């Protein structure tokens, strides 16, 4: 039974990746942006003269080196052959650096920033929300709720800008970092490098924590309030169980189920980067890379990042499916 449960999940996992990556391959190719045309028109706009034959030859050349020759289906077949070995071809915008190298360079920045700040927000928001929901009448918890309600609906770009303004201009407590570390530092495991990375990541991390904290707080509070009225929580109170047991093993334990699901999904989506955060804070992660790729018609880079994201989200879903029965015994192995 368990084996069948796992094999069905695995099969649908592979299917999701196949369909997702296929869509990701085709969609950019249907957009009007073409990398070859972009370069040629750039040459024109810079004032150099190209006669039509030379332009045609250049187009051919570019298409060949970009791997964009042949029918879509031929390109698609070639794409899978290379993708399975982790090769997504060269980037067009930073030609001829391989896409995989660009992604690998950006990945640690994004994952480090997003995973850490998502986890902090999740733990904080859920804990506070749990108490606020369970001790509804406490004045302190009402204040906490008011804060969460005030922050939660603020659009991220406004919150981020406000944060930059406040911390860097109005009350200049620390400088805004450009990039992942101070300029000129060589990557490595030196103390100086790590401290600089931490300093530059602090503000973007804070902005992410603030935004997602509100959501975790409010959703957990609603869950805890509902659970407090569940028969089994009321009965646990009637039986005079310890408050710690009721809070931890009854309310929190049951409220965890939807929250864990959402955390897994949000961690999966980390791999597409945080576009706004990274652009706003000039952070060298996947989001910035994705932005560059989209602006320059860099199909290979677009597909590479999107494919990574598809795999990551599907993997998060798979792991969730596999571990969920341990969290909720009512899930049947079917």
Report CA torsion sign: 9, 11, 13, 19.
negative
Is residue 9 at the binding interface for other proteins, with CB under 8 A as the rule?
no
Is residue 249 at the binding interface for other proteins, with CB under 8 A as the rule?
yes
Q: Where are the alpha helices (DSSP H) in the chain?
A: 2-29, 35-45, 52-66, 72-83, 99-134, 139-151, 156-164, 191-228, 231-238, 243-245, 253-268, 275-280, 286-295, 299-327
Is residue 260 at the binding interface for other proteins, with CB under 8 A as the rule?
no
Please choose, out of 47-55, 111-119, 217-225, 240-248, the segment that lies near other proteins by the rule CB under 8 A: 240-248
Size of the site for other proteins (CB under 8 A): 22
Is residue 330 at the binding interface for other proteins, with CB under 8 A as the rule?
yes
In the block, residue with structure tokens 């190209």? 50
Is residue 250 at the binding interface for other proteins, with CB under 8 A as the rule?
yes
Q: What is the DSSP string of 167-192?
A: IIIIS--SPPPSSSSSTTPPPSS-HH
d(CA 118, CA 138): 27
In the block, residue with structure tokens 């250049």? 58
Q: How far is the CB of 241 from other proteins (least distance, A)?
A: 5
Is residue 261 at the binding interface for other proteins, with CB under 8 A as the rule?
no
Is residue 245 at the binding interface for other proteins, with CB under 8 A as the rule?
yes
Is residue 53 at the binding interface for other proteins, with CB under 8 A as the rule?
no
Is residue 333 at the binding interface for other proteins, with CB under 8 A as the rule?
no
Please choose, out of 82-90, 126-134, 287-295, 323-331, the segment that lies near other proteins by the rule CB under 8 A: 323-331
**Member of 45, 48, 71, 238 binding other proteins (CB under 8 A):** 238
Is residue 188 at the binding interface for other proteins, with CB under 8 A as the rule?
no
Structure tokens at 185: 């530092």
Structure tokens at 52: 């039509």
Is residue 253 at the binding interface for other proteins, with CB under 8 A as the rule?
yes
How remote is the C-alpha of 315 from its chain's centroid?
A: 13
Residue numbers of the site for other proteins (CB under 8 A)? Answer: 230-232, 234-242, 245, 249-250, 253-254, 257, 327-330
């Amino acid at each position: 039974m368990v084996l069948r449960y796992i094999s069905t999940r695995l099969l649908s996992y592979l299917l999701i990746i196949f369909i997702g990556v296929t869509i990701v391959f085709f969609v950019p190719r249907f957009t009007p942006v073409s990398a070859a045309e972009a370069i040629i028109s750039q040459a024109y706009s810079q004032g150099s003269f190209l006669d039509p034959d030379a332009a045609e030859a250049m187009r051919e050349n570019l298409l060949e080196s970009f791997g964009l020759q042949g029918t879509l289906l031929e390109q698609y077949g070639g794409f899978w052959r290379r993708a399975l070995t982790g090769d997504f071809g060269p980037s067009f915008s930073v030609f001829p650096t391989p896409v995989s190298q660009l992604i690998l360079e950006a990945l640690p920045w994004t994952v480090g920033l997003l995973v850490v700040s998502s986890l902090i927000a999740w733990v904080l928001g859920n804990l506070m929300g749990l108490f606020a929901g369970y001790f509804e009448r406490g004045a302190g918890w009402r204040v906490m709720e008011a804060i969460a309600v005030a922050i939660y609906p603020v659009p991220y770009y406004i919150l981020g800008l406000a944060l930059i303004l406040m911390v860097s201009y109005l009350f200049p407590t620390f400088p805004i970092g450009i990039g992942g570390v101070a300029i000129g530092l060589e990557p490595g495991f030196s103390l100086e490098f790590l401290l600089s990375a931490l300093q530059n990541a602090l503000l973007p991390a804070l902005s992410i924590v603030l935004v997602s904290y509100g959501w975790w707080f409010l959703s957990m509070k609603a869950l805890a309030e509902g659970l407090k009225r569940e028969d089994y929580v009321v009965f646990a109170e009637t039986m005079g169980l310890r408050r710690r047991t009721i809070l931890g093993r009854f309310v929190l334990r049951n409220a965890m189920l939807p929250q864990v699901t959402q955390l897994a999904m949000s961690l999966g989506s980390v791999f597409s980067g945080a576009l706004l955060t990274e652009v706003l804070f000039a952070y060298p992660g996947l989001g910035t890379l994705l932005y560059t790729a989209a602006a320059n018609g860099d199909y290979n880079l677009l597909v590479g990042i999107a494919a990574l994201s598809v795999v990551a989200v599907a993997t998060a879903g798979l792991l969730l499916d596999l571990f969920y029965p341990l969290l909720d015994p009512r899930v049947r192995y079917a």
